Chain A
Amino acid sequence: MASSTVAAARVGPASRGPARRARREATSGLLFALPAILFVVILFVVPLVLAAWMSLNDWPLIGSPAFNAPDNYVAISENQLFLSSIWFTIKYTAIVTVIFLVISLALALLVQSTRPGIGFFRTAFLLPAAVGLASSALLFYALYNNEYGPLGDMLRGLGLVEGNADFLSSSEAAFRSTVAMVTWRFAGFYMIIMLTGLQAIPVEVYEASRMDGASWWQTLRSITLPLLKPTILLVLVLSVTGSLLAFEPFYILTQGGPSNSTVTMVIAMFREAFTLFDLGSAAAIAMVLLVALVGINVAQLYLLRDKDPK
């Protein structure tokens, strides 16, 4: 009994020491994190709350706002331009994501080795990513002009088209031309991400597969792609999110035309805000987009999660 009392007396101060240290460390940690928390709150949470509040109001660009919930959300269901833009944006996202995955992986495999001169190709493929998206779109807009740009002449010279090449005049051509421009702009960027994933795969695994006599295709299918899954997932999330929010390429190249056939969801939102000056409706569309994007990304991460616990 006596010994236990002594033990308890000894344990008391000793146990308060670590607890106090833990509290102090927690306080220090919070203080260290505070600048980041402040930035997140000021730059993300506050604007988000403001946008949510804006979506509940009739908010003209110039003039006083007035609470009108849920009119802005109801109006979305009657906004034909936005509704038709949903299917178009999904179609665009699906197509460019597949293209990005295939081309970026192919390019990464191409420049994976360390042969002399390979750096030139890596740089060349990555270079378009250094050009601003709007600048890229403007560059291609000039290239696609039959009176001014060289592309039409080149295609005619190669015998691929007769007369004027159709780059932006029809819905299909406008879509193809924009996808081509976006692929040029982003393929190198995603290639670099794929390349880092490829280089993280241990060489020993490839050596083992060679010892087992695996073909190139078997190695790709059974080793490279499974081990590249986290990288592919990253590319998928980045591409899907970016494509669902596509704006500049279409806004500059097609302005949503011809005949509103290439209007994306963000163009429809931008129009509400800065052409029709209805910030409330635009904010409502933004909130719907935000919820949809979060849902899509959660679904992607869930479906592609690692199902084999280590």
Chain B
Amino acid sequence: MRNTRSMTVAAAGAVLALGLTACGGGQTEAGGGGDGGSNEPLQMWARAATAPQSQALVDAWNEAHDRPVELTVVPTDNYLQKVGVAAGSNELPCLMASDVVYMPNFLQQNLFQDITDRVESLEFADVLAPGHINLATQDGAVYGVPHNVSVSVISQNDVLLEQAGIDPGARLESLEQLAENAAAVSALGDDITGLYYTGNNAGSISFTHFPAIWASGGQALNEDGTESLLDSPEAVGVFDAFNRMDAEGISSESVRDESGATRNDVFATGNVGYMIGSSVIGAVPESDTLVIGVQGIPGVDGGRSAFVGGDAIGISASCDDPDGAWEFLAWTLSEEAQVDVFAQQGWLTVRADLAGNEYAAEDPRIVTLNELVGEGDTPKALNYGQTFNDPNGPALTAFRDALFGDDAAAALETHNGAITASLGG
């Protein structure tokens, strides 16, 4: 009898403890957006994919300033969900970074505060990555600034190029020249691949092939991002050039299956002449058989461009201390942060005027990448993510048919309407 009673009490205690734990958890979680008060840390969210850059900035800021910034790294694939939930309960952090292509979605939902005057007051406002500023602008008002940038480039193995009789330092003048050079590299041996890129991921293909369209003088999307222009002569010319490289065996057959997961590993083998994607400097180790060079992505007949990706950052609508938040944001754009934190670690600066900084000057490849940030573009469309990051949507089908099918022009013409429909046009 006593046993039964004591066990009952123990069970009740367990339930009570459970309830208290749950309540305690709720209290701890509540008030995530509260950044009021000058001594409270400023809350900041960033996605995992670019967390090292965010962390480096936060660490450098916290070392030199009284008001700390607390960074929460959110898994990249969960970022939008987390923002959506927090926005619903008005608990967004004061500082919120975002993949730049999703900025129009956030602006449409009024998740950021207008910082037009603050941005314009910066001496270097006109040299901030133009693509990022464009995507962070709505109806003439600016809601965000660039936080970090990445550019699409052609990485090349200088060792293989020299073996094929190609001057690695010579700038690629056209896609035609890329095809010729890649064919020469490919002829070096059965194991050698002339050209490699991600051919089974629409987001990656737009990252690598849109710049060729821009360099050719065309556009992939119309100005407000509601209409696909992929059936335009410039776009067709680009996809046709890559289609011929596939048909002639200049680009690897594995390109068709590459979703991006093993792209750098393939280049790291040292058996690839050219690879289009984000820069691999620092990500792929160099050796006697692999010396990495970088090139801008050329158009069909000339020019060069780049897709400027990365993250933009703004002050959320939930933030009740925008002055404190701006103080941090303005500092992240300063020469001190851009050169001493970013450039020192080999990362790109978000300001074109710092392209030739002391650290970049030691490596001409970094100078090229920094220059491309200023020359490149970032497409702006409300439905960009759900159109070009959709593995089961019309864009991937269109791209793959155009790149690996019989007729690039016919494929793009066939699927262009579906892409426009997905863009909301």
A interface residue numbers (CB < 8 A to B):
24-25, 27-28, 31-32, 34-35, 38, 60-64, 81, 138, 141-142, 144-148, 164, 167-169, 252, 255-260, 263, 267-268, 271, 274-277
Q: A256-B392, A267-B392 are in contact. Are A28 and B7 (CB under 8 A)?
A: yes
- A146 touches which one: B84, B106, B254, B391 (CB < 8 A)? B254
- A255 touches which one: B80, B87, B196, B391 (CB < 8 A)? B391
- Cα distance, A119 to B341, chains bound together (Å): 55
* Contact indicator per residue, chain B 272-303, by CB within 8 Å of chain A (1) or not (0): 10000000000000000000000000000000
- Cα distance, A141 to B263, chains bound together (Å): 11
B120 at the A interface (CB under 8 A):
no
Interface residues of B in 86-106 (CB under 8 A from A): 87-88, 105-106
B386 close to A35 (CB less than 8 A): no
Q: A35-B15, A62-B109 are in contact. Are A25 and B4 (CB under 8 A)?
A: yes
Chain A: minimal CB distance from B69 (Å): 24
Q: What residues of chain A lie closer than 8 Å to B111, measured between beta carbons? A: 62
Q: What residues of chain B lie closer than 8 Å to A255, measured between beta carbons? A: 200-201, 259, 391-392
B interface residue numbers (CB < 8 A to A):
4, 7-8, 11-12, 14-15, 18, 77, 80-81, 83-84, 87-88, 105-106, 109, 111, 193, 196, 200-201, 252-254, 256-259, 261-262, 265-266, 269, 271-272, 385-386, 389-393, 396-397, 400
- Cα distance, A259 to B272, chains bound together (Å): 27
Instruction: Pick 18 A–B contacts, CB within 8 A, sort by A.
Output: A32-B7, A35-B15, A35-B18, A61-B80, A62-B111, A141-B261, A145-B262, A145-B266, A147-B193, A147-B252, A147-B269, A148-B266, A255-B201, A257-B392, A257-B400, A259-B400, A271-B390, A275-B390
B392 close to A258 (CB less than 8 A): no
A61 close to B386 (CB less than 8 A): no
Instruction: List 4 extra interface pairs beyond A256-B391, A259-B400, CB under 8 A.
Output: A35-B15, A61-B84, A63-B109, A147-B272
- Cα distance, A263 to B393, chains bound together (Å): 11
Chain A: minimal CB distance from B372 (Å): 26
Residue of chain A at shortest CB distance from B271: A147
- A31 touches which one: B15, B391, B396, B397 (CB < 8 A)? B15
- Cα distance, A32 to B6, chains bound together (Å): 12
Q: What residues of chain B lie closer than 8 Å to A63, measured between beta carbons? A: 84, 109
B386 close to A257 (CB less than 8 A): no
B257 close to A168 (CB less than 8 A): yes
Q: A25-B4, A142-B262, A276-B390 are in contact. Are A35 and B14 (CB under 8 A)?
A: yes
Q: What residues of chain B lie closer than 8 Å to A276, measured between beta carbons? A: 386, 390
Chain B: minimal CB distance from A236 (Å): 30
- Cα distance, A276 to B387, chains bound together (Å): 8
Q: What residues of chain A lie closer than 8 Å to B196, measured between beta carbons? A: 147
A277 close to B80 (CB less than 8 A): yes
Residue of chain B at shortest CB distance from A276: B386
- Cα distance, A148 to B264, chains bound together (Å): 10
Q: What residues of chain B lie closer than 8 Å to A271, measured between beta carbons? A: 390-392
B254 close to A164 (CB less than 8 A): yes
B262 close to A141 (CB less than 8 A): yes
- B11 touches which one: A32, A141, A164 (CB < 8 A)? A32
- Cα distance, A38 to B88, chains bound together (Å): 26
A148 close to B265 (CB less than 8 A): yes
Q: What residues of chain A lie closer than 8 Å to B256, measured between beta carbons? A: 169, 258
Chain B: minimal CB distance from A88 (Å): 12
Q: A32-B11, A145-B258 are in contact. Are A257 and B80 (CB under 8 A)?
A: no
A258 close to B400 (CB less than 8 A): yes
- Cα distance, A63 to B265, chains bound together (Å): 40
- A62 touches which one: B18, B105, B201 (CB < 8 A)? B105
Q: What residues of chain A lie closer than 8 Å to B109, measured between beta carbons? A: 62-63
Chain A: minimal CB distance from B95 (Å): 18
- Cα distance, A148 to B275, chains bound together (Å): 14
B4 close to A24 (CB less than 8 A): yes
B81 close to A61 (CB less than 8 A): yes
Q: What residues of chain A lie closer than 8 Å to B193, measured between beta carbons? A: 147
Chain B: minimal CB distance from A120 (Å): 32
Residue of chain B at shortest CB distance from A279: B84
Q: Which of B11, B257, B266, B396 has the most CB atoms of chain A within a 10 A radius of its CB?
A: B257
B257 close to A169 (CB less than 8 A): yes
A148 close to B269 (CB less than 8 A): yes
B8 close to A274 (CB less than 8 A): no
Q: What residues of chain B lie closer than 8 Å to A275, measured between beta carbons? A: 385-386, 389-393
A147 close to B397 (CB less than 8 A): no
Q: What residues of chain A lie closer than 8 Å to B106, measured between beta carbons? A: 62
- Cα distance, A113 to B183, chains bound together (Å): 59
- Cα distance, A123 to B400, chains bound together (Å): 43
B77 close to A274 (CB less than 8 A): yes
Residue of chain B at shortest CB distance from A267: B392
A62 close to B262 (CB less than 8 A): no
Residue of chain A at shortest CB distance from B253: A164
Chain B: minimal CB distance from A265 (Å): 12
